[in-house]
Structure 1
């Protein structure tokens, strides 16, 4: 029995950095996927892990999985954590080959590591005959994310597991938006080709906030109100308003010193080409931008962004479905 699981990546639509101070954020699952294929092996008590993207293969005996130190390539550490938890809880793991691949660019703020962890967790639960409970899948993926990122927010694994558009707040958890008209808009992703340390950017914003606290607290609250209004307009199908609020959200991130000359060039190129809104997505300092467009204008916006020097451009859908797992 071969098992295949897919899980989507994500974008942050609004709330970057402000969620740290318990303001709401909004994120969405997108039509770029991580895939995990699990096939039975004739060699007993052995699990073989293969990363298609990195062309790396590791084998390990199931009897060694609960050891404190595991000899393997670092890219597999998060998956071994998932296997350890499943083995502890269910007392078994399958002898199998697990092939891991992803369409989602790594280190781009699009949730690549979380999506692979979500797909891996779902496939593993299916393989041992357990119920593929979404809450458990998300929790397993979160444990994997702790290996990858130390103190993850939990947003990436949540969006990848449940899909759709999710409003989240640190103190309250998340809620999935209803009535989003997914077929009425597209997102165009554009990569600036540059990266800056997320940790450094978070520290930069924290320093500003601490130094000018009385100025920044109303600013943070305004960002929170913007996120709630954007979620409301998206549920109502008012895409013009959503785009306008995305532009305002970008301006707020710009004012914190999180933009770059290349980011601004791409943002204004997208808007000039007809995008309803365009902004940084993620930590900033380069990285990715997103542009909201009608389906009819997505190709034009994409072409203009490539001509403006974007390193990579992709038109994606925001999707309602999260992780899916099947026998093939």
Structure 2
């Protein structure tokens, strides 16, 4: 049995520039971190005593004879792409709901690729996990997704991720004084709007508008460097990050009319009235988690104003996808 633990991610700046249709021409970059909320994948070869060949347990329980019968698109796509021949039992558990804007789909893809490699006795590098997950989601499954979630899930940590015109990517850890990093984290809040959405559908509308929104996307790329400069400064107040997040949110809303909704706009305005300086809806938009930036002394007021939402405490995570149990022959 193999169990992998793969983190979800929180993206701050540069989202939208990680779509291949954009960075193949202009390049792109995001500032993002993994957080201490995880996707767990349990995987083992299924003993030959059952009527079914594969058992997939997620929001549904699927007992099937062939890969083509599997309803879960990522499982079906990954097993088909890897050419898996033996029967498998796969269980998925997550700390946070799916379709919530924290990269859960890519964490699942990276985690399952990691588990399958381990089950076969193969070492899977971070680069392999990220690049293969990007290929699976964008080319095998044909989803309208960017390339940052897969990298954050595989590598983990607080990183500048750059996307190159040749299709490659590179990651650079953001080097900060610990006091500054702690100050940054202490200003962040995360709450669940209760609205779920299909990220690929929201992203499709953004992709269709890429070349009509060049000014916004170039500005969003510039904000990545500005944010790093603020965080690394010893003289600039951390509040400037909140103001930059607010500007980024306005740019992101301009990418598509599906990024936000009247309900999300209302929640955001209520948070601002209660003392938040900035924030953004996570992921492609349309629902999921709302990240807010506010002075710690204003957090109680923001929570009270948004008391009907679920508030989720979190911390930055330093590690990417990990194997937390490795017993490849333990239950055969």
Q: TM-score, normalised by structure 1?
A: 0.77
2:124 to 122, 132, 152: 132
The corresponding residue for 1:232 is: 229
The corresponding residue for 1:174 is: 170
Bigger mean CA offset, 120-129 vs 289-298: 289-298
Cα distance, 1:71 vs structure 2: 3.2
Point out where structure 1 has 5 or more consecutive residues left out of the alignment: 65-69, 211-215
Alignment check: 8 A CA contact 2:32 2:160 kept:
yes
Cα distance, 1:40 vs structure 2: 4.7
The corresponding residue for 2:7 is: 8
Kindly tell me the number of residue pairs found equivalent between the two proteins.
Answer: 303
- Between the aligned partners of 2:87 and 2:296, the Cα distance in structure 1 is 45
- Between the aligned partners of 2:203 and 2:222, the Cα distance in structure 1 is 25
Give the RMSD, CA atoms, in angstroms.
3.3
The corresponding residue for 1:103 is: 95
Partner of 2:252, secondary structure, is: helix
Cα distance, 1:36 vs structure 2: 0.7
- Between the aligned partners of 1:93 and 1:200, the Cα distance in structure 2 is 34
Alignment check: 8 A CA contact 1:16 1:281 kept:
no
Cα deviation 1:153-199 (Å, max 9, x = unaligned): 22111111101233334425232333254544144133262648414
| Pairing of 1:20-169 with structure 2 (within 5 A) | 20=19, 21=22, 22=26, 23-43=28-48, 48-52=54-58, 54-60=59-65, 70-75=67-72, 77-87=73-83, 96-146=88-138, 147-169=140-162
- Between the aligned partners of 1:178 and 1:203, the Cα distance in structure 2 is 28
Cα distance, 1:255 vs structure 2: 4.6
How has the CA–CA distance of structure 1 residues 219 and 327 changed in structure 2, closer, same or farther, with 3 Å as cutoff?
A: closer
- Between the aligned partners of 1:142 and 1:47, the Cα distance in structure 2 is 28
- Between the aligned partners of 1:19 and 1:39, the Cα distance in structure 2 is 34
How has the CA–CA distance of structure 1 residues 78 and 142 changed in structure 2, closer, same or farther, with 3 Å as cutoff?
A: same
Q: TM-score, normalised by structure 2?
A: 0.76
Point out where structure 2 has 5 or more consecutive residues left out of the alignment: 327-332
